[in-house]
Structure 1
C-alpha cells in the first residue's frame, strides 16, 4: 500500500450501495422529463448523494439533469429521487408537453452521462 491519497477511481462507490441494492424506484412514473424540486433545504440527516440531489434541486429540473449534475447513472438517480419524493424532500410533476429547448437539454444531459 502506497502513502498516496486515494484517487477518484479508488473512492468510487458502486451504484447498488447508493440505492441499498434496489433497482426499482419506490415512486412509479418517474420519467427522464419529470420535473423535481426540493421542498426544503438539504440537511445533515441525509446521506451524501441524497443531500446533493436536494441541493441541486433548489430550482426545478428534470430527472435526467439531476443524474448528470450529481454524476450518477440514470437508474440510480431515479431510485434516489423516488426515495426523496416518498420522504417528502422533493416534489415532482410531469410536464404536459415539453418545449423543444427542454428536450434538447435532456438529450444533451443524457449524452453527458
Structure 2
C-alpha cells in the first residue's frame, strides 16, 4: 500500500486533484476567516479541508494556515480557494499598496513573535 510517508509527493497531488492554480489571489499574507462556522459541515469535510476550515475560524493568513495544518503552501492555497469558492471561508481583499508596506511588515513581525 502506498502511504504519504513512503511517497510524500503522491498525497499533495491527490489532495488537489493535480491542480496548482487557484481561483483566488492567495498570497502568503492573505487573511482568511470563516464568516459562519458550521460544525456539521466541518464534520463532513475531508480532514485536510476541515483542519483549514477550523483554523480559519479565528482569522489566519494563508502562511499561518499552512504551518498550523502541516500542509504545503501550494496545497493550502488550492484547498482554501476551493473553500472560498464554496463560500465556506472569506478571503479578505489585499489592503497593502506595496509588498514593503509598514502594516504588512508589522503583521509579519507580530505573526513571527506569536509563533516563537
Tell me the TM-score normalized by structure 1: 0.75
Cα distance between partner residues in 2 of 1:72 and 1:103? 20
Cα distance between partner residues in 2 of 1:10 and 1:89? 33
Partner of 1:103: 108
Cα distance between partner residues in 1 of 2:105 and 2:22? 27
Q: Does 1:32 align with 2:8?
A: no
What is the aligned residue count?
102
| 1:44 CA drift (Å) | 2.0
The 5 A counterparts of 1:6-85 are: 9=5, 14-27=11-24, 29-39=25-35, 40-42=37-39, 43-85=42-84
Tell me the TM-score normalized by structure 2: 0.73
**Cα contact 1:37–1:60 (8 A) shared by 2:** yes
Cα distance between partner residues in 2 of 1:14 and 1:30? 21
Structure 1 unaligned residues grouped into runs of 5+ = 1-6
| 1:99 CA drift (Å) | 4.2
Cα distance between partner residues in 2 of 1:38 and 1:20? 24
| 1:92 CA drift (Å) | 1.2
